[in-house]
Amino acid sequence: MPAIVLIGAQWGDEGKGKATDLLGSRVDYVVKFNGGNNAGHTVVIGTEKYALHLLPSGILTPGVTPIIANGVVVDIEVLFEELDALISRGVDVSKLRVSANAHVITQYHRTVDKVTERFLGKRQIGTTGRGIGPTYADKINRVGIRVQDLFDENILRQKVEGALDQKNHLLVKVYNRRAISVDEIVDDLLSYAERLRPMVADTALLLHEALTEGKTVLFEGGQATMLDVDHGTYPFVTSSNATSGGAVTGSGIGPNRIDRIIAVVKAYTTRVGAGPFPTELFDESGEFLRANGFEFGTTTGRPRRCGWYDAPVARYTARINGVTDFVLTKLDVLTGLDVIPVCVAYSVDGVRYDEVPVSQSDFHHAKPIFEDFPGWSEDITGARTFEDLPRAAQDYVLAIEKMSGARISAIGVGPGREAIISRHDLID
């Protein structure tokens, strides 16, 4: 029985929520190991549509134990809101466990996120404004508040005092905002403690025991490889490790326990927020992808930037994460195009790059070198085997598989749970 890591291959919103849901009933535990409520996963089950942010998508599968692990940053108010929304729709959330070591997003983190973005002006990252970056900064700076601190008022107060000491200077003197009082933060956090207490656990130990007993554990990454703080398009990234390594540090299991690494990749590319994006389209083709793919953010509602499939990015993802399988999503969105260009390499000031360049400036200036593939016009949303796809769609999948560094084991042909073609079993 395996431990499986599932991550995003591009800049997020690849359809990780749907892919997780797909594995659903065969999984015993589903673990969120990085990020927070900056994520937005849409899962469509029959006529019901669920938008999840902080909770792992696997929470929708009956019988699964969802875990929010130590690598996550938790906005407790949002946690309760999301839980209540699911409870009111009849979802059983009683098995959720939250790591005592996860860091807590507070009001001052959200405030600092918003004011720093404003002060960056045209160098803005375009964050989700949820306080993610400042909370991870406090964690690394060793002035963070952890879930376990909520159960010792004395310690909590000392830690909040320590954190606010610096931040109030910054807020008042640099950003011209009001100071935040220790009491308002402490009272706010303490008000959540009793409801949270039964959910809090040593999740690293729990996962160790589960894996030892032979349970199937799915580690569900938020964000994506190109948004990873180490391996993404820094500084236009999120503040956590969204790559497969993050599943290890973010949950407390050993790397040798992981059996499968699945990357979810869209049949084209999208990005939300600022930063380099070589295949980005500014013409009607981009509009076609945005309209057909409903490319608007699940978290912020922002229109997503759209572009063609970038094979060097997929290859980079395969390499950085040790990908064993790709799940290719949204192939149906390409239906109706006469020609589908795929980026096979880049040109930077006349020099050809077959791989993602290590220099940030080079990647900013990278111009895609495209190879064109014939499109198809048949509706493919009902296809359930590879052979059901029109020849041109099959050829497109086989061509990008060859360029991308790992096999394509499943293909999404629509938003619904059933709209999937399976080529290789993802759990064995």
- Which residues carry out catalysis? 13, 41
59 or 182: CB nearest ligand IMO: 59
Spatial separation of the C-alpha atoms in residues 245 and 230, rounded to whole Å: 11
User: Would you give the binding string for ligand IMO spanning residues 273-292, x where CB under 6 A is met?
Assistant: x-------------------
What is the total count of residues that contact Mg ion (CB under 5 A)?
A: 3
Closest CA to 28 of 205, 219, 221, 252: 219
- 40 scored as a contact of Mg ion (CB under 5 A): yes
Q: Which of residues 2-21 bind ligand GDP (CB under 6 A)?
A: 8, 12-18
Phi/psi for 22 (5° steps) reads -60, -40
Q: Is 275 among the residues that bind ligand GDP (CB under 6 A)?
A: no
Residue 271 near ligand GDP by CB under 6 A:
no
Region of 120-128, 161-169, 198-206, 364-372 interacting with ligand IMO (CB under 6 A): 120-128
Would you say 260 and 4 are in contact if contact means Cβ atoms under 8 Å apart? yes
Residues near 30 by beta carbon (within 8 Å), at least 6 away in sequence: 20, 56, 57, 58, 59, 61, 64, 65, 66, 67, 217, 218, 220
The DSSP bridge partners found for residue 193 are: none
Please report where in the chains the tokens 């002035």 appear, as a residue: 143
Say if CB 216 and CB 4 are below 8 A apart. yes
The answer to whether 310 contacts ligand IMO (rule: CB under 6 A) is no
The one of ligand IMO, Mg ion, ligand GDP, none whose footprint includes residue 42, by CB under 5 to 8 A per kind, is ligand GDP
**Taking CB under 5 A as the criterion, which residues in 260-299 touch Mg ion?**
298
Beta strands in 196-320 (DSSP E): 200-201, 217-220, 260-266, 269-271, 305-307, 309-310
Minimum distance from CB of 202 to ligand GDP (Å)?
A: 28
What is the smallest separation between the CB atom of 290 and ligand GDP, expressed in angstroms?
12
| Closest to 261 in 3D by CA, of 327, 319, 321, 214 | 321
Of 333, 334, 342, 426, the residue at the interface with ligand GDP (CB under 6 A) is: 333
Q: Which of 8, 13, 321, 409 binds Mg ion (CB under 5 A)?
A: 13
Window of 39-47, 68-76, 99-107, 155-163 that interacts with ligand GDP by CB under 6 A: 39-47
Residues touching ligand IMO, count (CB under 6 A): 22
Q: 93-125: string of b/e by CB count within 10 Å (b at 16+)?
A: beebbbbbbbbbbbebbbbbbbbbbeeeeeeeb
Q: What minimum distance in Å lies between the beta carbon of 297 and ligand GDP?
A: 7
Residue 39's nearest CA partner among 62, 59, 63 is 59
List residues near ligand GDP by CB under 6 A.
8, 12-18, 39-42, 44, 298, 329-330, 332-333, 412-415, 419
